[in-house]
Amino acid sequence: MTDDIRNQTEAQGRSRDSVKIFMLLTVITGATDEAAQRKYEEYLSYASPEGMLAPFGGWTGIDFSKLDPDEPLKAMDNDSLRTTLESLTSGSDKAWTVRDVIKNRCIGGLGPVLVGGPQKVADELERWVDEGGVDGFNLAYAVTPGTTTDFIDYVVPELRKRGRVQTSYKEGTMREKLIGTKDGNVESTHPAAQYRTAYVGKESVASKTIESKFSDVTKVPETV
């Protein structure tokens, strides 16, 4: 999939590395694989099936409460996030049931969950980068701030040993750090580049902004 995205990017006249691919991922970790597994099972014990199905119903446009928990889900044409429903009805050996959604999505939501100690997690992250071609990870959480602090305490030191994470921050804008452009602008082949000077000398929309009739509501009263 990542190769296909980059092939299409290149076919549009852009460099293969100008599009960065980040993967949504929830990491449950601890000092050892066993400790991480126990933590994961504890989190699952607190999960609410109804609470999880509520956002999934919004994402897919399906009222899961009206379905047989063991009946395979079917794709439908509606105004929801169609890719979310498609991921549950195709692309695997069998279509998911409502029970499958509850079991596999109470933690992690729309993304996969990785459970393990520092070495196991680091191995898997490296595999997804080296073999899967992703550029990075959008780390979600099961509990806050615990999921994030666990990753920092257990996984980051292991990744640093392997030279996989930065040890300091570079100067420059976020775009310069991600894409590598020297001036901080998008590359000349990016669709946004054509608008770089499109509005220079033109009237600003801000000049036509009407003042809110409620602006005085948020003003802090003066004290004597």
Average pLDDT over residues 160-183: 88
Spell out the domain ranges in the chain: 2-47+107-161
Q: How far is residue 135 CA from its own chain's centroid? A: 12
The pLDDT assigned to 62 comes to 86
Average pLDDT over residues 36-54: 93
- Tally of CB atoms within 10 A around 175: 14
Residue 146 pLDDT exceeds 90: yes
In terms of Cα–Cα distance, which of 117, 124, 113 is closest to 43? 113
| 163: helix, strand or coil | coil
39 vs 181, more confident: 39
How many angstroms separate the CA atoms of 61 and 79, rounded? 7
Residue 138 pLDDT exceeds 90: yes
Burial label for 101, CB within 10 Å (0-12, 13-18, 19+), is: buried
How many angstroms separate the CA atoms of 6 and 2, rounded? 6
Average pLDDT over residues 131-159: 96
Residue 224 pLDDT exceeds 60: no
DSSP H/E element including 83: helix 82-89
The pLDDT assigned to 218 comes to 65
Question: pLDDT-based confidence at 154, cuts 50/70/90?
Answer: very high
Question: pLDDT-based confidence at 78, cuts 50/70/90?
Answer: confident
Average pLDDT over residues 134-139: 96
Task: Please provide the average confidence, as pLDDT, over all residues in the chain.
Answer: 89
